[in-house]
Amino acid sequence: VTEDLIHDERITAMGLLAEAVGGLAARFSAQLAEHDLAPVEFEVLLRLARSPDGQLRMTDLSTQTGITTSGVTRVIDRLDRDGLVCRQACPTDRRSSYAVITARGRSRLEAVLPGHLALIDEWFTGRLQPDQLTALLDGLRVVRDAVRPDAAANELDPAAPES
């Protein structure tokens, strides 16, 4: 009732958002672990699989995931070692290298995805009425586009303008 900053409704809103995502991530990680994938590795494989030719420059992976470039190097090191991804030199710019998802990587993804989608449905999308979900996603899109302008037209959310 005073100027009690720690009970501000904005904190509440942000807490709700963070707790929802954190809780979902916790649910997912168990299933991913069954398939020997860390969450970040799953994200990388997914982003590669969604990209043309299944490949992406290290730098682009960095901006898309929000991991530093050195962090990306380590993740790709692991995925490369496990044969889920391989590196490929860029023909036009010899500074750049591509991470390319391998057949093994794709099949690993296909092994994980059905269960993963079921979990998203069970804990997130399936719990909301269709219009309620739409409203939620519309709001999220506004925030996402503001806070990650680069990802706007981009990747894990095509927002495809009806080609």
Q: Which residues bind a copy of itself (CB under 8 A)?
A: 5-8, 10-27, 46, 49-50, 66, 109-110, 113-114, 117, 120-121, 123-125, 127-128, 132-133, 135-144, 146-148, 151, 155-158
Taking CB within 5 to 8 Å according to partner kind, which of DNA, a copy of itself, none is near residue 27?
a copy of itself
Q: How far apart are CA 87 and CA 93, in angstroms?
A: 14
Taking CB within 5 to 8 Å according to partner kind, which of DNA, a copy of itself, none is near residue 70?
DNA
Q: How far apart are CA 95 and CA 92, in angstroms?
A: 9
Q: How far apart are CA 91 and CA 62, in angstroms?
A: 20
Q: What is the nearest approach in angstroms of DNA to the Cβ of residue 79? A: 10
Of 11 and 90, CB closest to DNA: 90
Q: Please give the DSSP secondary-structure letter assigned to residue 159.
A: -
Chain residues binding DNA by CB under 7 A are 38, 40, 57-59, 62, 66-78, 87, 90, 93-98
Q: What is the nearest approach in angstroms of DNA to the Cβ of residue 87? A: 6
Of 36 and 110, CB closest to DNA: 36
Taking CB within 5 to 8 Å according to partner kind, which of a copy of itself, DNA, none is near residue 104?
none
On whether the CB atoms of residues 74 and 56 are closer than 8 A, the answer is no
Contacts of 125 by beta carbon, 8 Å cutoff, 6+ apart: 133
Of 35 and 97, CB closest to a copy of itself: 35
Tokens of 78: 């692991």
Please provide the distance, in angstroms rounded to a whole number, between the alpha carbons at the two ends of the chain. Answer: 52
In 17-156, DSSP assigns E strands to 55-57, 85-89, 97-101
Of 71 and 115, CB closest to DNA: 71
